[in-house]
Amino acid sequence: MNAPAAHAATPADPRYDEWLVVRCQLGERDAFETLIRRWHGPIRGYARRLCGDDELADEIAQDTWLRVLRGIAGLRDGACLRAWLFGIARRALMDRLRGRYAAPPQAEQIDPDSVPGEDAAPEQALDHAMDLDRLQRGLDRLPLIEREVLSLFYLQQLSLQDIAQVLELPVGTVKSRLFRARGLLRQQLDPTGADR
């Protein structure tokens, strides 16, 4: 009787990231490249959403990957990879934004290239695009702290416990910030007049 074949995790497997971490810790270069392909978009998107600058987001993502490369050998629990990655990205971001972290949001700037033309899309798609654009403008006008917690919870789909780990805060504080951020976003998107 033959022994059963070893089972390699697939990207759909919830343990895939744990498997990648072990392979990275064993020094497999292709595993680290796979890790980057898998997480670069979410990490860069998170940085972009918080800093509002494509070039700076690219620099932060690059800095994050350098820190990950240096630190992955010390990651003890591969199941914590997601929170660990966003924690590193957050520290890289905060290192760059220390002076701006507590500053009030800047006034809205409209990019003329982002305004749809007459023949841009069917009416339903245009309404959806306008809703997304309105949501993005609302998020951009929130203070950085609130924007960060909304991004981690809704866009990156981190649990409250993972967000607490990323932000190095108690879960209760994360819940409080999330509640406040939702309220502030609702104010920005107020359908009675104005999305300010």
Q: Quick: pLDDT tens for 55-82.
A: 999 999 999 999 999 999 999 988 899 9
Banded pLDDT at 3 (limits 50, 70, 90): very low
pLDDT over 90 percentage in the chain = 42
Longest dimension (CA), the chain: 73
Angle subtended by helix axes 123-141 and 171-188, to nearest 10: 120
Cα–Cα separations (whole angstroms), residue 151 to 155, 158, 184: 5, 9, 14
Banded pLDDT at 2 (limits 50, 70, 90): very low
Is the pLDDT score of 191 beyond 50? yes
Q: pTM of the entire structure? A: 0.69
pLDDT digits (tens, 9 = 90+) for 15-51: 889 999 999 999 999 999 999 999 999 999 999 988 8
Distance, CA of 176 to CA of 180 (rounded, Å):
6
Close Cβ partners of 61 (under 8 Å, ≥ 6 residues apart)? 40, 43, 44, 47, 89
User: What are the percentages of helix, strand and coil residues in the chain, rounded to 5?
Assistant: 70, 0, 30
pLDDT of residue 22: 93
User: How confident is the prediction for the chain on average, in pLDDT?
Assistant: 79
Is the pLDDT score of 118 beyond 50? no
Residues 78/44/47/130 CA torsion (nearest 10 deg): -120
Distance, CA of 166 to CA of 170 (rounded, Å):
11
